Amino acid sequence: MSLSRCANGHMFSTRKHGSTCPYCFMSVEPEAGAGAGFGAGAAARRQQAAALELADERTLPYLEEPEGIEPVTGWLVCIEGPQLGQDYRISAEKNFIGRAEDMHIQIVGDNAISRRNHAVIVYDPKKRNFFLLPGDASGLAYHNNEAVYSPVELTPYDVIQLGRSKFIFIPLCGVHFEWENHRA
């Protein structure tokens, strides 16, 4: 691999980026005997300096304002497995469960749980009820020791098993409480 260091100390691949540092857009002087004239680096630096002056006028992406807190609608609490005692927040609508970082409910430590979409817990704010759905991964989800092949309505203190871990379901929202009634 052909690595080079720019004047600011950044290391980068000259095969991929040529003589221009991708971090600071500085041109690197060619090595002696490399076949290029020494004046080429200075001309490239002047050209890049001009480009950097124009860079301040570039259009920047609009970053939306954060929407605030996503209210909790219930919890899963690990009652057996590597994360014993750990609680997991359930939000409104679909909550995908797996080990991956991008899952709504990320359960680490139990490699028998699929990385992505092992199961789904849904809270329907219009009907005010919770459901457990099977995921599209190869692992099964169990509801009170029964395999889940289609949506199952959850009730307080149901036991859900995923991999080698068991969780107890604790709802907050439902017929007795709903966030819509408590917002300013």
User: Bigger pLDDT: 15 or 36?
Assistant: 15
pLDDT one-digit tens code per residue, 124-177: 999 999 999 999 999 999 999 999 999 999 999 999 999 999 999 999 988 888
Instruction: Spell out the domains of the chain, with CATH numbers in brackets.
Output: 3-55 (no CATH), 74-182 (2.60.200.20)
Residue 38, pLDDT score: 45
- Strands 105-106 and 93-98, how do they pair? parallel
Residue 33, pLDDT score: 42
Residue 10, pLDDT score: 79
Residues 87 and 85: their CA atoms lie apart, in Å, by 6
Which residue type does 104 have? Answer: H
Q: Which residues contact 89 (CB under 8 A, 6 or more apart)?
A: 72, 75, 105
Look over the chain and give the mean of its residue pLDDT values, rounded to a whole number: 82
- Tokens coding 101: 């970082």
Residue 70, pLDDT score: 85
Residue 34, pLDDT score: 42
pLDDT one-digit tens code per residue, 66-113: 567 889 999 999 999 999 999 999 999 999 999 999 999 999 999 999
Q: For the beta carbon of residue 77, count every other beta carbon within 10 angstroms.
A: 15
> What b-and-e string marks burial along 14-34, b requiring 16 or more CB atoms within 10 Å of the CB?
beeeebbbeeeebbbbbeeee
Determine the average pLDDT of the residues in 36-61: 54
Residues 115 and 124: their CA atoms lie apart, in Å, by 25
